[in-house]
Structure 1
């Protein structure tokens, strides 16, 4: 292991960074993604087309992105934090103007050669922008009211644009990720308590402005059997499939609910249900343990980092990853309302996969440059 204390980020050679790169972490990601490939193969009834091979290609591109991002000096990523956030924000605005509609929501941009979901990009760039902002503040300055205006706006503007799409699930994730960065930066508890009171006070107003399908998701969460063939169909079939899997599952490609098409969205949001039916409780626990190892490694990176930007960025990536896993798995078990949150590296999806790999590349950049000291203040940005 290299003694990185003798390096600064720009003095490290590429070979030094490749040696310091944690290849075991990459292998862990490959194992998780491989489970996803297997499930997508099963969804297509024993065929790599149309989902498994596309997902594998995207993951391959994602690995290249992760490696490139990890090799780049962490200080350069700090300088690019605000510009990248601005690009993501511009893409969200473009969605409202020229975006196209899919599955009842206007969330995508067609760039000709690829379709992009800007809200997925914003999830990463928001973490970068907040980490950059709080890096320039001392612990005492974080809790001064005038210093909270800019980070609140950094969160509120994209959240407002995402709500207009409408995509309430992603909006909640953006708020949650932002709140985690506020907490990690050292914001005092009284602000969180005050925010909680404000949220509770605005619940009636927010409820009155929800779309009917969003209200139905809440009603269905409280009583799935109120509309078993309509709003409650997804979650009821999911529970049946999970229960049918038992401890060891029905066997690979032997799930009745999934193979007979009773289970909807089985290649995206409900892929964990399919895994539970075919591989059982044991298979589900194996995947969750792999996720847990990723989370523990990520948090350890944050604790080892000597600079505030890297520490906050690693915490943001770690906890956003956790939120994805927790919300998706809890959703398919009926513990949370159904929202469009994919299972990391397993659910089928292009933008979600590549943006996550970019975020994990940032995490690895923090790991490689964990002993690099970055000065605070405007000079560090310019």
Structure 2
């Protein structure tokens, strides 16, 4: 009788609808959002701006939406995949027609006084669409893979022409991560990336490009049908891509070349392409082990780093919270990635598993690129740091993505309590 009473009481609990939600994942996201607001306020304290509390309000709204989504059954989205796809593309087309321009790019739509960035929500939309399509095939064939790539290429192209290189790269990583988890042959994914790598290697060091092209010829021979045709075809494709990359590089202006390779040696242009990278490294280095303390960072408080509350928020963390603060932030991101992998492995169907991997690919790529450009290991691409950088559309889309993942976790096989 005692255990029956306990079980009946549990079922009546207000949290019973979220019995299987991954609370550690949710708490980690909320913690990063809270820290983001604190660091944004520190960056803007001398300017009297209110972006920090807008960050918290947006996070609160996102958390409420995430909880609502977590309670709902994610599987119903399978039947809505094409509606989602149409909405994603129409919103990106609307940006080209009625969007507003800022910082040299047309990426926002003004809705009721709020600037909404559809490309951020499009990332969540393409995760749903690709997950639903890959769920329908157990082992994708070459035609299936080409179909997925074409479907992903439409919103990717619309984002690229805004122009928004950073978000388009995120689209590419989402697609690759989900195709890999969806049992697409790894050799095909390598061949898909190979022309870009070939163009880069040939431009930097031609013998390396030739070696890469030969290796890709072997990959084509190993992974594709009609190997004695597709192998040489892969070799020729990579040699051609290397040549095109060399030609394309010659058409670029000097300032464009400097922007692309400036992160390798930012001291060559300390007041231009290398300015952000130099100042960010100075800020992170000056924080040393324990940091200078909130509102005490010289680079941060004296506004040496432009747009620090968005793309370069990690430099403020490094300066004011030090190495310890940076490690804690990285540890929280590691927890988030670990929980996403666990949810993907324990999901009750491939659709839910693919959603979790899509969100993992999106977040992991953004974290690596953003922190990389803050410490000088990657070029400046305009990719924000999830949950920490200011950006209402980005923060809201991250919470919507987490809501989908929590729905996958919440609708797993129920555990027996007693």
1:93-108 matched pairs, under 5 angstroms: 93-108=93-108
Q: Does residue 31 of the first structure (1) align with residue 17 of the second (2)?
A: no
- Cα distance in 1 for partners of 2:253, 2:186 equals 33
Q: Does residue 92 of the first structure (1) align with residue 92 of the second (2)?
A: yes
TM-score, normalised to structure 1's length?
A: 0.88
Does the 8 Å contact 2:317/2:326 carry over to 1? yes
Equivalent position of 1:163 in the other structure = 160
Q: Deviations over 1:275-332 (max 9, x none)?
A: 1001100011011101111110111000001201001111111121111111111110
Across the aligned residues of Structure 1 and Structure 2, the Cα RMSD in angstroms comes to: 2.1
Q: Does residue 229 of the first structure (1) align with residue 271 of the second (2)?
A: yes
Classify 1:360/1:258 alpha carbon distance in 2 versus 1 (closer, same or farther; 3 Å).
Answer: same
Deviation of 1:208 after TM superposition, in Å, equals 6.5
Equivalent position of 1:109 in the other structure = 109
Deviation of 1:113 after TM superposition, in Å, equals 4.1
Matched residue of 1:20: which SS? Answer: coil
Matched residue of 1:109: which SS? Answer: strand
Equivalent position of 2:410 in the other structure = 368
Matched residue of 1:108: which SS? Answer: strand
Equivalent position of 1:123 in the other structure = 123
Classify 1:79/1:209 alpha carbon distance in 2 versus 1 (closer, same or farther; 3 Å).
Answer: farther
Classify 1:213/1:306 alpha carbon distance in 2 versus 1 (closer, same or farther; 3 Å).
Answer: farther
Q: Does residue 189 of the first structure (1) align with residue 186 of the second (2)?
A: yes
Q: Which has the larger radius of gyration?
A: 2
Equivalent position of 1:272 in the other structure = 314
Which structure 1 segments of 5+ residues have no match?
A: 1-12, 373-382
Structure 2 residue corresponding to 1:286, chosen from 328, 352, 365: 328
Classify 1:15/1:33 alpha carbon distance in 2 versus 1 (closer, same or farther; 3 Å).
Answer: closer
Classify 1:59/1:47 alpha carbon distance in 2 versus 1 (closer, same or farther; 3 Å).
Answer: farther
Aligned length: 357
Matched residue of 2:308: which SS? Answer: coil
- Cα distance in 1 for partners of 2:413, 2:253 equals 49
Equivalent position of 2:301 in the other structure = 259
Does the 8 Å contact 1:310/1:370 carry over to 2? no
Q: Deviations over 1:188-231 (max 9, x none)?
A: 12212322333331544665687876543212112201111111
- Cα distance in 2 for partners of 1:207, 1:309 equals 41
Which structure 2 segments of 5+ residues have no match?
A: 1-12, 199-240
Does the 8 Å contact 2:46/2:301 carry over to 1? no
